[in-house]
Structure 1
Amino acid sequence: MNFSGKVVIITGGSSGIGAAAAKQFASHGALLTIVGQNEQRLLQVAEKCANFKDHNPLCLLIDLTSPDGCEEVVRKTIETYGKIDVLVNCAGKGPVTDLFDTSMEIFDELIAINLRVPYKLTKLCLPHLKNTKGNIVNVFAAPLKVTPGFLPFAMIRDALQRFTNSGGLETASVDVRMNAVRPGITRTNFLANFNVSDADMKEAYEKIAEIVPNKVIIEPEEIANLILFAASDICPNMNASNLVLDGAASYY
């Protein structure tokens, strides 16, 4: 896969799957805009990306849910590179909460970052993606069995699937593709963000692995490989598709 000269925006790029995707795109020659909210991690990712092609990514420390956050991402990317070829909507948040305990404030916060941001950012990028015949990759969780404690998260996940299916149908009219990459249980910074110790994290992943058919936690680099595949020109007619990478956990 060759992304030389392609301009790629990655949200949620300071850790986990977003960071892995940024490094993979950089290794294949892409020019990057990396968006995150942790400055230290963002700069660390950018430094690793620069090591591949001696190109310093555009790092944006932005709250995408702020009134002008998405606009700033698009504006600064165009000012820096003059075009946009790929948008990777990877930023997200998913606390464990249910119908009984979820306040409307938490619900609105989840809707804002997980659903409203990718919709708005996609809408803002579309005129530029139309010019480059580019594409959008939405990254969100693979389908899981109905589980108590994940109601808002499950609602958003299903809405993003419909966004990808219907959105891809609409963007096809301007030669822009939209696909989804849907990871299963992946080793990210999710637990670390709750100040879980390394030992407890290791134990937690071992227990989680027991519910996966092949007993393996997916590494973010593997998900990043699929993101690059979806964003590439290898399958130019793949559109409105949901690409699941979960070790068959959806059927277990």
Structure 2
Amino acid sequence: MDFTGKVVVVTGGSSGIGAATAKLFAACKALLAIVGRNEERLLAVSKECTEYSGNQPLCLLLDLTEKNSCEEIARKTVETFGRIDVLINCAGITGAHSLFDLTMDNFDDLLALNVRAPYELTQKCLPHLVVTKGHVVNVFRAPLRARPGLLALTMLTDAMETFTRSSAVELAAKGVKMNAVRPGYTRTNYMTGLNVNLEETFEMFSGFLPNKTVIEPEEIAKTIALVASGNLPNLNASCIVVDGAASVVFNAPASYIEVIRIC
């Protein structure tokens, strides 16, 4: 896929799926604006992107939940590159709570980054995406099936799916396409800092999954790039699940649920 001359904004770009996505778009010669909250990791990703493409990404060290952050992303991207062709809403946080223990502060934190931020950033980028007939790809990780302890994430996933499908219909007349990519259990650092051994935990996950493997972030990045490429001109309002059939048949034992709950 060739994104030469295309300007791509990637949130959550300092680690995990966002970082893998930024690197892939760089290898495809895109001009990048990478948004993240960890300066060290953001600069490391930027350096790799520059090596791939020869183009220095615009690094935006921002918290998407802070006031005016989304407006700043859109403004600085256009000031730097003159346009926006693709928006990848990849930033998000996870958490496991039931209705009994989910505080409103917890809920508001999840809502702010996982739903409000992609809504607002899309809105701020929209005038520029209309000009370029661009693409929005929403990336959100949460179960397709109800499971104990994942109430909030399931609710917010439904919100993002509705946002994707409804917005796609609304934007179609303007030539802008919106789709979603929904990763399954992916090898990222979202459990870093918890009192668990990451490799042992991923190995445990693999044992429960139909394909017997945890997904690598690079595979999700390839899916995102394909969706945003324009090579599938009638792909719109779609929510593409890449989870190795986990959402179809996966039933986790109690030990797995306990790991998820501390995440």
TM-score where L is the length of structure 2: 0.93
User: How far 1:142 sits from its partner (Å)?
Assistant: 5.5
Q: How does 1:145-156 map to 2 (within 5 A)?
A: 145-156=145-156
Describe the shift of the 1:9–1:113 C-alpha distance in structure 2 as closer, same or farther (beyond 3 A).
Answer: same
Q: How does 1:51-66 map to 2 (within 5 A)?
A: 51-66=51-66
Give the match for residue 44 of structure 2.
44
- The code of the aligned residue for 1:165 comes to R
Rounded to whole Å, the distance in 2 between the matches of 1:110 and 1:214 is 29
Residue aligned with 1:210, SS? helix
User: How far 1:99 sits from its partner (Å)?
Assistant: 1.1
Give the match for residue 132 of structure 1.
132
User: How far 1:119 sits from its partner (Å)?
Assistant: 0.5
- The code of the aligned residue for 2:113 comes to I
In structure 1, list runs of 5 or more residues that go unmatched: none
Give the match for residue 236 of structure 1.
233
Give the match for residue 115 of structure 1.
115
- The code of the aligned residue for 1:242 comes to C
Give the match for residue 248 of structure 2.
251
- The code of the aligned residue for 1:234 comes to N
Residue aligned with 1:152, SS? helix
Q: What whole-Å deviation, never above 9, does each CA across 1:116-170 have from its counterpart, x for those lacking one?
A: 0000111111110000000100001254321111111110011101111111001
User: How far 1:206 sits from its partner (Å)?
Assistant: 1.2
Q: What whole-Å deviation, never above 9, does each CA across 1:73-114 have from its counterpart, x for those lacking one?
A: 011101100100000000001112221111101101110000
Structure 1 stretch displaced more, 137-146 or 168-177:
137-146
Rounded to whole Å, the distance in 1 between the matches of 2:135 and 2:193 is 31
**CA contact under 8 A between 1:7 and 1:81: conserved in structure 2?**
yes
Residue aligned with 2:149, SS? coil
Two-structure CA RMSD over aligned residues (Å)? 1.0
Give the match for residue 93 of structure 1.
93
Rounded to whole Å, the distance in 2 between the matches of 1:144 and 1:129 is 30
**CA contact under 8 A between 2:142 and 2:153: conserved in structure 1?**
no
Give the match for residue 203 of structure 1.
200
**CA contact under 8 A between 2:14 and 2:41: conserved in structure 1?**
yes
Residue aligned with 1:192, SS? coil
Give the match for residue 182 of structure 1.
182
Rounded to whole Å, the distance in 1 between the matches of 2:180 and 2:242 is 11
- The code of the aligned residue for 2:45 comes to V
Structure 1 stretch displaced more, 203-212 or 183-192:
203-212
Which of 223, 228, 232 is equivalent to 1:226? 223
Point out 4+ residue stretches in structure 1 off by more than 6 angstroms: none
Rounded to whole Å, the distance in 2 between the matches of 1:65 and 1:195 is 27
User: How far 1:195 sits from its partner (Å)?
Assistant: 5.7
User: How far 1:208 sits from its partner (Å)?
Assistant: 1.0
Is 1:166 aligned to 2:161, yes or no? no
**CA contact under 8 A between 2:93 and 2:110: conserved in structure 1?**
yes
TM-score where L is the length of structure 1: 0.97
User: How far 1:18 sits from its partner (Å)?
Assistant: 0.2
Q: What whole-Å deviation, never above 9, does each CA across 1:176-195 have from its counterpart, x for those lacking one?
A: 00000010000001111436
**CA contact under 8 A between 1:142 and 1:245: conserved in structure 2?**
no
Structure 1 stretch displaced more, 131-140 or 204-213:
204-213
**CA contact under 8 A between 2:142 and 2:154: conserved in structure 1?**
no
**CA contact under 8 A between 1:142 and 1:250: conserved in structure 2?**
no
Rounded to whole Å, the distance in 2 between the matches of 1:241 and 1:190 is 26
- The code of the aligned residue for 1:123 comes to Q
In structure 2, list runs of 5 or more residues that go unmatched: 250-263
